[in-house]
Amino acid sequence: MYRIIETQILAPTISKLTVEAPLVAKKRKAGNFVIVRATPTGERIPLTIVDSDPEKGTIVLIVQAIGKTTHIISELQAGDHFEDVVGPLGEPTPVSNFGTVVCIGGGVGTAVIYPIAKALKAAGNRVISIMGARTRELMILEDEMAGASNELIVTTDDGSYGKKGFVTDALQEIITGQGKPDAVYAIGPLPMMRAVAGVTREPGIRTWVSLNPIMMDGTGMCGACRVTVGSELKFACVDGPEFDAHQVNFDELIARNRTYIGPEQQAFETWKNRTVTTDCRHI
Ligand code: NAD
Ligand code: FES
């Protein structure tokens, strides 16, 4: 059992949880993730480790409430427990001193890019970060991203905060105005990462994205997380989750991620309409 030390609502539907997991906290590197189960019979959910404190033995997770399980996790409070937390999983982010690096976080993907931007800045890179959200109230971790970056550009789709437009508009402006960066890391919804790859392909800017396919075991055994990268079949949980954006077959991954949408919606509706009693909040 893994105790939740603290919870915080960052934005509507987005929560931050600080969890006691000393061995994970000691070993994790930027880019690693964990697979958590909220209850003994619960679904296994991969979540990026946003931060850690090896001395206190804690890790920070950020979850967006979309379906049944992510809503259950979002309702957990300090003092509650995860049934299990497995990790750190995945390959750490390839971090070296490239020169100037653009780090892009789209929506809740900002939680995933934040530790990477921090590691890239610590490695001596000049980090220009772009963070985008649909609207101001969905913007998360702005102070943290400012601390992890030499320059921070904020965009909203509706223009309610920062520059109006998509993160790709801001990226294009940087390339046009400041010249080609040495590398780009982009994390967010799949259409965003596909669009970033479209911007950086022709100028030949090396670009990494972090993929979020359906996962089960997280150890390369089940094949649920398979993705096509170039002409090769890869398992995101052990070969990734980060890959060369120009080689990823995004269309295939978008289609695969929709496989269980019907059952997922049905499970969420059933859970939402359940009869809640005081002692079965997490069922
Ligand atoms: P969102 O849909 O609100 O988009 C966030 C930002 O991404 C937008 O403000 C825009 O700037 C940019 N964007 C979106 N579509 C774009 C497009 N077609 N072209 C260019 N830019 C575009 O994001 P959200 O609702 O917070 O994201 C949720 C999604 O992110 C979920 O599908 C989730 O699975 C995914 N996600 C991915 C990872 C990962 O590791 N890849 C991590 C967390 C979440
Ligand atoms: Fe099973 Fe990756 S989640 S192989």
Model pLDDT for residues 28-85, shown as the tens digit of each residue: 999 999 999 999 888 999 999 999 999 999 999 999 999 899 999 999 999 999 999 9
Task: Please tell me the number of the ligand nearest to residue 225's CA.
Answer: 2
Instruction: Confirm whether 177 is domain-assigned.
Output: yes
Residues 6+ apart with CB under 8 A from 229: 239, 243, 244, 247, 248, 249
**107 and 47 co-located in one domain:** no
Q: Does 110 share its domain with 193?
A: yes
Ligand 1: atom nearest CA of 66 is 31
Q: Label residues 94-124 b or e (16+ Cβ within 10 Å = b).
A: ebeebebbbbbbbbbbbbbbbbbbbbbbeee
Is 218 inside a domain boundary?
no
Question: Any idea what the CATH number is for the domain that residue 110 is in?
Answer: 3.40.50.80
Tokens 């670009």 locate to 207
User: Cβ(105) to ligand 1 under 6 A?
Assistant: no
Domain assignment of residue 34, yes or no: yes
Among protein residues, the one whose CA lies closest to atom 21 of ligand 1: 192
pLDDT at residue number 277: 58
The domain spanning residue 76 has which CATH number? 2.40.30.10
Same domain? 115 vs 204: yes
Q: What is the pLDDT of residue 283?
A: 44
The residue behind tokens 């019979």 is: 41
pTM: 0.93
Domain boundary among 35, 62, 89: 89
Mean pLDDT by 10 residues, the chain (283 residues): 95 95 95 93 92 96 93 94 95 94 96 94 97 96 97 97 97 96 97 98 97 93 96 96 97 91 87 67 47
Whether 95 is in a domain gets the answer no
Domain tally, the chain = 2
Ligand 1 binding pocket includes 253 (Cβ within 6 Å): no
Q: Is 192 in the pocket of ligand 1 (CB under 6 A)?
A: yes
pLDDT in the model for residue 117: 96
The ligand 2 atom at the shortest distance from the C-alpha of residue 216 is 3
Residue with CA nearest ligand 1 atom 20: 192
Domain finish residue from 37, 63, 89: 89
How close is the Cα of 239 to the center of ligand 2, in Å?
Answer: 10
Pairwise CA distance, residues 48 & 268, whole Å:
23
Is the minimum distance from the CB of 108 to ligand 1 under 6 angstroms?
A: yes
Q: Is 67 in the pocket of ligand 1 (CB under 6 A)?
A: no
- Tell the residue number behind the tokens 């991954």, with chain if given: 253
Closest CA to 30 of 81, 83, 101: 101
Range of the domain at 132: 100-210
Cα pseudo-dihedral 61, 186, 46, 242, rounded to 10 = -130
pLDDT of the residue at 227: 97
Q: Identify whether residues 167 and 145 lie together within a single domain.
A: yes
Please tell me the predicted confidence (pLDDT) of residue 161.
96
Q: Measured in angstroms, how far is the CA atom of residue 207 from the centroid of ligand 2? A: 24
What backbone phi and psi angles, to 5 degrees, belong to 279?
-110, 15
Classify 276 as helix, strand or coil.
coil
197 in contact with ligand 1, CB cutoff 6 A: no
Burial class (CB in 10 A: 0-12, 13-18, 19+), 189: middle
* Residue in 216, 239, 256 to alter for ligand 2 test, most ligand atoms within 8 A of Cβ: 216
107 lines ligand 1 (CB under 6 A): yes
Per-residue confidence (pLDDT) for residue 34, from 0 to 100: 96
Determine the Cα–Cα distance for residues 149 and 126; give it in Å rounded to an integer. 8
Residue that finishes a domain, picked among 210, 241, 258: 210
**Domain identity same for 122 and 196:** yes
- Of the candidates 188, 166, 191, the one whose C-alpha atom is nearest the C-alpha of residue 258 is 191
Q: Tell me, yes or no, whether 23 and 49 share the same domain.
A: yes
SS3 at position 71: helix
Does some domain include residue 281? no
